[in-house]
Amino acid sequence: MTRTGSATPHLFADWDGIARRIRENQRLALFLDFDGTLVRIAAMPDHVRLEEEMRGVLRKLAAHQKVTLTVISGRQRAELQRYIGLRNMQYLGLYGWESNGNKTVPFPDRVALVSVLLSLLAELPSYPGVWIEPKRNTFSVHLKDASGETKRRVVRQVERRIKPLAQSLKVMANLRDVEVAPVSIGDKGVAVRKFLDQPDMRGALPIYFGDDFSDEPAFAAAERGISVLVGKRRATRAQYCVRGPVEVAEALSRMEKIIR
């Protein structure tokens, strides 16, 4: 069910009910987005910083046998490991598709991806505030600093480039960028469902925090649990909301105390 921004209650307003569900469940599957959820959005992706308060509560949660802690992001898995640097937790990169460092996309899809990347690298730098971030198996067209009209024009241009290659590539819209990815890379909802289908996860209470449009499929996948939109309120599949990473850290700290 999609809720309007004003209809999404704050997580702390229903904390007694949240706490009861956490106490009653024998296992928690805690999923956390990275940018905008664990860290504040930075001017450039490599400028983000995980605050020590957040790292501390993640370390405590990861140590609990009752908790399976997973960070799931559009970033590459190696980046997540570098920025967070904690053991006893799982890192899922590229929207959950990259669960280890050995995954590769089919060769025809890679050829199509490189072809579009080269075309857009030649075309898009002329737009102010727009830049492209190549990744190993996808690439992002960053739009955070572009005007509204520029964003619309760039998205249309990317979609036109992808349309003839729709059997190989897709466009994934986010709040601050668009991702061009092979169709073989699923969304975060696919990753969460696959994770919860593991034998030792069946019956676990899913808890998901995320801020972006790419988190919406995961909110739907975690609908039997607790889903939380982070940041500015908007229409969402999430059941609750918090205002930013500071409140995410507070919520995680409260959860850890309940479990402890």
21, with CB counted inside 10 A (0-12, 13-18, 19+), is: middle
CA-nearest of 142, 211, 218 to 186 is: 218
pLDDT recorded at residue 196: 94
| The total number of residues written for the chain in this structure | 260
Residue 207, amino acid? I
| Kind and range of the H or E run holding 242 | strand 240-242
Domains of the chain in sequence order: 5-101+186-259 (3.40.50.1000), 107-182 (3.30.70.1020)
pLDDT at 44: 85
- The owner of tokens 């709040």 is 175
Are 150 and 129 spatial neighbours (Cβ–Cβ below 8 Å)? Answer: yes
- In the prediction, which pLDDT does 161 show? 93
Query: One digit per residue, pLDDT tens: the chain, 260 residues?
Result: 677 767 899 999 999 999 999 999 999 999 999 999 999 998 888 899 999 999 999 999 999 999 999 999 999 999 999 999 998 999 999 999 998 777 788 899 999 999 999 999 998 878 999 999 998 899 999 999 999 999 999 999 999 999 999 999 999 989 999 999 999 999 999 999 999 999 989 889 999 999 999 999 999 999 999 999 999 999 999 999 999 999 999 999 999 999 98
Cβ neighbours for 165, distance < 8 A, ≥ 6 positions apart: 112, 115, 116
Specify the pLDDT at position 5.
64
pTM comes to 0.93
How many Å apart are CA 97 and CA 234, to the nearest integer?
26
Q: What is the pLDDT of residue 190?
A: 95
Q: Name residue, tokens 């409140």.
A: 247
